[in-house]
Amino acid sequence: MKKILTLFILLMFFSYCKAKEKVTILTGSADGNYYKGGMVLKKILDKNFDLQVMESNGSFQNIEDLSAGKADFAFAQFDTILVFVGMGGEYKDKVNKCLAVAPIDNETVHILVNNNSGINSLADLAGKKVAMGEEKSGTWITTKIIAKTILDVDVNAEGSGFQYMEDAEALKKLIDGEIDAMFLVSAMGTPLLKSVDADAGEKIRLLSYTKAEIPNTLASRYIAMTINNGTYPWLKEEIEVPVTASFLLVNETVTPEKLEAIGKLIYENDDAMDEESNTFLSRGKEIALKQIDIGIPYHNSIKAYLKKK
């Protein structure tokens, strides 16, 4: 009897210690909102899944790597998704392998300028020294779109003035006056900008823009949103900026059973995740259903789950 009891206890122990299924997600830099969102998701999934949170350069690289099967999930901006679609061919094939799972917080197009740069409008960025994030990041893609559409400038052309630069480095150089401006596409309230003290407002500011500066050709990618005074310690005024939607994407090869289990955990906990990060959205189910209705390509398993709720 004692042996049977011991065997039973051992079986229960090994059942409890059964390895959780490994899942991977591509995020962004370790100090960014995508990475923070990945860590919040890891806690939510922890009971059933071992989520490996992977750093990356951001949206463009995430779509390339996700489509190649280098991860199960990834975060990406809507404007970057549309760039892949617009390039057609192999790029469109890549993004077609990446399907939406959940909406996440809008990504704000922060354009910071040095107060001595002479930049007062988007057009004034021409000919200036401008940091555009790291190659294959979402910030890089957004900068390319805005520079080409509004300034008719190819940011990768020699002499354009636009340069690759890691966000923290760019911010330091901007404050020191070594560059004139920097783009940073991240959720509103991004920790990097919150870490800058109030005195920096004497040296830098966020560039506001008018709706007339964003042409109709970009209307499907960006909407206007207000950043309130005090959102960042150095921000002393209310300004209007463009924002783009963002999504959690899944590789099409992830099994429907696994995806539904993960999707269920996300949507049942989206309120709690929204409180803990600037990544996930409360009322996620409501937002996702509206996006499905306008044709955003959600995975069939997620559509079925949401529509039966």
Topology, domain 22-105+246-307: D-Maltodextrin-Binding Protein; domain 2 (3.40.190)
The residue extents of the domains of the chain are 22-105+246-307, 107-244
Q: Do domains 22-105+246-307 and 107-244 have the same CATH topology?
A: yes
What pLDDT shows up at residue 18? 57
Domain 107-244 bears CATH identifier 3.40.190.10: yes
Distance of alpha carbon 304 from alpha carbon 309, whole angstroms:
9
The whole-angstrom separation of Cα 281 and Cα 104 is 5
pLDDT of residue 111: 96
8 vs 82: CA distance, rounded Å: 56
Asked if residue 280 lies in contact with residue 40, where contact means CB atoms within 8 angstroms, the answer is yes
E strands along the chain, which residues?
Answer: 21-26, 49-54, 73-77, 98-114, 130-131, 162-163, 181-187, 204-206, 223-227, 239-251
Output the tens digit of pLDDT for each of the chain's 309 residues. 555 555 555 445 444 455 789 999 999 988 888 999 999 999 999 989 999 999 999 999 999 999 999 999 999 999 999 999 999 999 999 999 999 999 999 999 999 999 999 999 999 999 999 999 999 999 999 999 999 999 999 999 999 999 999 999 999 999 999 999 999 999 998 889 999 999 999 999 999 887 777 777 788 789 889 999 999 999 999 999 999 999 999 999 999 999 999 999 999 998 888 888 878 888 899 999 999 999 999 999 999 999 885
